[in-house]
């Protein structure tokens, strides 16, 4: 075994070699692209000009209004060169650290740089079976950030790997809502043992297909190097939805004054003129779990164009495709990860048997950027446009007050049972609440108990039977006596815990269930082994009275027994708002002995049954 001095000498030599490799790689990257990576005005990759793409600027002269509305969207800013105008986070002498992993951010004029453990060395150490985290002084290297992905929830940063045109992902990303840096491993719902190789995401090999327009990954199949990568445009631009515009532009320029083109002569795709299936599949190409079978996908770019049927280029994934260690779907087959809305929509009767498409509710050009919902589509009108008969008998159908959250169609028929970006997201499988037997094993929480968090499954089953004629379900003792949310939180798997924890911070659920009992259960989740669960629980705690206003940073990085204890102590100090709400039945189903007394033996009994499955939710 080499001595400590020998190890230090070898590491110093390795560091020097790696630094030379990085500098050489940066020079090679510049030579391939003809410009410094990420400099002001740089397009990062050469422009793909051989597939009929002309770029969004060519659309503006004739479609100024549509161009302006698209320009305001997060689709446009999905991927951008790293410039002072596009980089959201501060790089001014920032130090990042999580469990011994350190990075330093610095700014040089209009350039953004990161100083980190050298990624090439780290990969080599991992491949050799070495535990790089135990090396006290690993070699470090500096890399220029040349590109960003995201501007809505997270912003991710990319640097040249030094191999071809490959861009690698900086392992921290910036969470815009909280203004915090989060390590990649903490920003996903992942419980598998962390491996260094998991942070080496290559933009050219995955992200490029949906986060740019006219992507040509340009893989050299012999050397397995991305040295010919091109894009028509960074971000999701006009031609991503309307198709290449070269023929359209040529046709329009050839028109004589006053002459109108025929629809065939337009040579462009308008999603609104397609069938509801094909228009939805334009979105579904990226907003789905889709297995692409185009043999030229990574060499010359996919041939799939707007208006083409997805089935000609691959197939939608389903629960039958689940692999050990990964999750995409709930046990009932419903998609579980956010951003894959087409999996849910295409499994809905409204799509399969009716005319519903993505455009039924969403609009690129007549909406606000946040959810891109068209006018009036943020409320019941979205459903009443097809189910108009319910307009006059809404409360008869919902059994809730007309102006309440319980009478909002979305909350019952599209509950927040997908998870991504450290939050629950509306599932786009349009169906009705139901109670199933063995609900812990069945997986996906029902809409009723995600709002009425303080009620049991027995309560829900009875109401669905009385109101809608559902057959009553045979339930276990705990399903009859313990609030469903608590069983999911205490003994469910990480996906159930994350979804229910998010609902504990959701205002409609807090109004329906009260908040006086929630803090100790959210606090208990601050020790969860899944960092995403800890993050969601911490943010939920911040919405509760008497709780610390800022518990997220510590909870996100590591288990937080101190924060859990502080949450419990703060709860115990809070005065009981309305003791009359706590009859014996309510206390029992909330696992309480008194309004400020936990029934710890029953809580521990549920925790002993916890599902400790290790998996990563694929977003």
Residue 418 has pLDDT above 60, yes or no: yes
Q: Specify the pLDDT at position 24.
A: 39
Q: Specify the pLDDT at position 43.
A: 64
Q: For 272-277, what is the mean pLDDT?
A: 96
**C-alpha to C-alpha distances, 272 to 173, 267, 282, nearest whole angstrom:** 36, 15, 11
**Euclidean distance between CA atoms 17 and 550, whole angstroms:** 43
Q: Specify the pLDDT at position 9.
A: 34
- In the block, residue with structure tokens 């190789």: 197
Rounded to the nearest 10 degrees, the angle between the axes of helix 484-491 and helix 600-607 is 60
Q: For 315-329, what is the mean pLDDT?
A: 94
Sign of the torsion formed by the C-alpha atoms of 280, 284, 288 and 290: positive
Q: Quick one: which of 111, 136, 197, 171 has its CA closest to 11?
A: 136
Residue 526 has pLDDT above 90, yes or no: yes
Q: Quick one: which of 216, 346, 214 has its CA closest to 278?
A: 346
For the record, the structure tokens of 401 come out as: 């007050």
**Euclidean distance between CA atoms 575 and 38, whole angstroms:** 55
Instruction: Give the angle 110-115-117 at the CA atoms, nearest 5°.
Output: 155
**Per-residue pLDDT tens over the stretch 454-463:** 999 999 999 9
Q: For 598-603, what is the mean pLDDT?
A: 97
Chain CA centroid to CA 126, Å? 28
Q: Which residues contact 456 (CB under 8 A, 6 or more apart)?
A: 479, 480, 481, 482, 483, 484, 589
Residue 410 has pLDDT above 60, yes or no: yes
Helix, strand, or coil (residue 551): coil
Mean pLDDT of the chain: 88
In 3-state terms the chain splits into helix, strand, coil percentages (rounded to 5) of 40, 15, 45
Q: Quick one: which of 520, 518, 517, 523 has its CA closest to 582?
A: 517
Q: Specify the pLDDT at position 557.
A: 62
Q: Which residues contact 476 (CB under 8 A, 6 or more apart)?
A: 438
| Residue 553 binned pLDDT confidence (cut-offs 50, 70, 90) | low
**Euclidean distance between CA atoms 372 and 370, whole angstroms:** 6
Rounded to the nearest 10 degrees, the angle between the axes of helix 531-541 and helix 494-504 is 10
Residue 562 has pLDDT above 50, yes or no: yes
Helix, strand, or coil (residue 425): strand
Q: What is the largest distance, in Å, between two alpha-carbon atoms of the chain?
A: 85
For 221, phi and psi rounded to 5 degrees? Answer: -65, -25
| Residue 209 binned pLDDT confidence (cut-offs 50, 70, 90) | very high
Q: Quick one: which of 215, 213, 247, 434 has its CA closest to 334?
A: 434
Q: Specify the pLDDT at position 542.
A: 93
Residue 440 has pLDDT above 80, yes or no: no
Residue 183 has pLDDT above 80, yes or no: yes
* Burial of 17 from C-beta contacts in 10 A (0-12 / 13-18 / 19+): middle
CB 146 within 8 A of CB 160: yes
Start-end of H helices in 61-118: 64-71
CB 134 within 8 A of CB 25: no
| Residue 283 binned pLDDT confidence (cut-offs 50, 70, 90) | very high
Q: Which helix (H) or strand (E) holds 413?
A: helix 409-413
Q: Specify the pLDDT at position 554.
A: 60
| Residue 559 binned pLDDT confidence (cut-offs 50, 70, 90) | low
Give one word for 509, left, alpha or beta, with left for phi > 0 and alpha for psi -120 to 50: alpha
Q: Specify the pLDDT at position 310.
A: 96
**Euclidean distance between CA atoms 216 and 226, whole angstroms:** 10
Q: Specify the pLDDT at position 558.
A: 62
Q: Specify the pLDDT at position 551.
A: 60
**Per-residue pLDDT tens over the stretch 341-396:** 999 999 999 999 999 999 999 999 999 999 999 999 999 999 999 999 999 999 99
For the record, the structure tokens of 561 come out as: 């027994």
**For residues 374 and 51, which has the higher predicted lDDT (pLDDT)?**
374
Q: Specify the pLDDT at position 39.
A: 31
**Per-residue pLDDT tens over the stretch 7-44:** 333 333 333 333 333 333 444 444 445 443 333 233 68
Give one word for 388, left, alpha or beta, with left for phi > 0 and alpha for psi -120 to 50: alpha
Give one word for 460, left, alpha or beta, with left for phi > 0 and alpha for psi -120 to 50: alpha
> Exposed e or buried b for every residue in 105-120, given b needs 16+ CB within 10 A?
bebeeebbbbebbbbb
**Euclidean distance between CA atoms 503 and 543, whole angstroms:** 11
**Euclidean distance between CA atoms 143 and 35, whole angstroms:** 16
**Per-residue pLDDT tens over the stretch 238-271:** 999 999 999 999 999 888 888 888 777 788 999 9
Q: Specify the pLDDT at position 36.
A: 37
Q: Quick one: which of 280, 304, 281, 305 has its CA closest to 294?
A: 304
Q: For 457-485, what is the mean pLDDT?
A: 94
Q: Specify the pLDDT at position 579.
A: 84
What residues pair up with 304 in beta bridges, in sequence order?
Answer: none
């Amino acid at each position: 075994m080499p001595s400590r001095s020998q190890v230090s000498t070898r590491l110093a030599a390795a560091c020097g070699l790696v630094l030379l490799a990085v500098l050489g790689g940066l020079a090679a990257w510049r030579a391939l692209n003809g410009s410094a990576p990420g400099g002001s005005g740089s397009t990062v990759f050469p422009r793909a000009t051989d597939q009929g793409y002309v770029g969004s600027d060519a659309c503006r002269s004739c479609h100024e209004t549509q161009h302006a509305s698209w320009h305001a969207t997060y689709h446009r800013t999905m991927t951008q060169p790293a410039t002072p105008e596009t980089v959201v986070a501060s790089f001014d002498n920032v130090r990042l650290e999580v469990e011994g992993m350190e990075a330093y951010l610095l700014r040089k004029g209009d350039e953004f740089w990161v100083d980190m453990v050298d990624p090439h060395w780290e990969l080599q150490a991992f491949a050799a079976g070495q535990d790089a985290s135990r090396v006290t002084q690993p070699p470090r290297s500096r890399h220029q950030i040349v590109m960003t992905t995201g501007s809505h929830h997270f912003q991710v940063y990319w640097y040249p790997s030094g191999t071809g045109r490959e861009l690698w992902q900086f392992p921290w990303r910036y969470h815009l809502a909280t203004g915090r840096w989060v390590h990649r491993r903490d920003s996903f719902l992942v419980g598998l043992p962390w491996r260094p190789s998991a942070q080496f995401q290559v933009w050219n090999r995955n992200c490029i297909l949906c986060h740019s327009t006219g992507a040509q990954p340009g893989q050299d199949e012999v050397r397995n190097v991305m040295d010919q990568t091109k894009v028509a445009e960074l971000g999701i631009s006009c031609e991503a939805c309307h198709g290449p515009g070269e023929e359209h532009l040529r046709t329009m320029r050839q028109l004589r004054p006053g002459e109108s083109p025929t629809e065939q002569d337009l040579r462009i795709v308008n999603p609104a003129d397609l069938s509801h299936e094909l228009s939805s599949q334009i979105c579904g190409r990226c907003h789905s779990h889709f297995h692409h079978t185009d043999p030229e996908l990574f060499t010359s770019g996919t041939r799939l164009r707007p208006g083409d049927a997805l089935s000609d280029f691959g197939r939608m994934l389903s629960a039958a495709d689940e692999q050990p260690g990964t999750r995409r779907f709930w046990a009932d087959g419903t998609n579980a990860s956010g951003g894959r809305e087409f999996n849910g929509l295409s499994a809905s009767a409204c799509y399969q048997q009716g005319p519903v498409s993505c455009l039924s509710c969403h609009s690129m050009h007549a909406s606000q950027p946040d959810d891109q919902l068209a006018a009036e589509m943020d409320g019941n009108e979205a459903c009443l446009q097809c189910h108009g008969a319910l307009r006059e008998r809404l409360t008869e159908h919902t059994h809730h007050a007309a102006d309440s959250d319980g009478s909002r169609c979305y909350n019952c028929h599209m509950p927040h049972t997908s998870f991504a970006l450290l939050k629950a997201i509306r599932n786009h499988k349009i169906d009705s609440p139901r109670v199933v037997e063995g609900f812990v094993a069945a997986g996906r929480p029902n809409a009723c108990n995600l709002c009425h968090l303080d009620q049991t499954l027995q309560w829900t089953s009875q109401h669905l039977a009385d109101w809608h004629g559902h057959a009553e379900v045979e339930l276990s003792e705990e399903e009859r006596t313990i609030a469903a949310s608590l069983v999911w939180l205490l003994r469910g798997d990480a996906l159930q815990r994350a979804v229910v924890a998010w609902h504990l911070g959701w205002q409609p659920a807090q109004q329906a269930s009260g908040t006086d009992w929630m803090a100790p259960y959210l606090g208990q989740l601050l020790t969860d082994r899944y960092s995403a669960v800890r993050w969601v629980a911490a943010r939920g705690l911040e919405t509760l009275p008497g709780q610390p206003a800022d518990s997220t940073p510590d909870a996100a990085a590591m288990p937080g027994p101190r924060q859990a204890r502080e949450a419990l102590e703060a709860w115990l100090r809070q005065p009981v708002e309305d003791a009359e709400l706590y009859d014996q039945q309510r206390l029992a189903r909330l696992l309480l002995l008194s309004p400020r007394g936990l029934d710890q033996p029953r809580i521990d009994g549920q925790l002993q049954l916890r599902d400790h499955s290790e998996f990563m939710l694929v977003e």
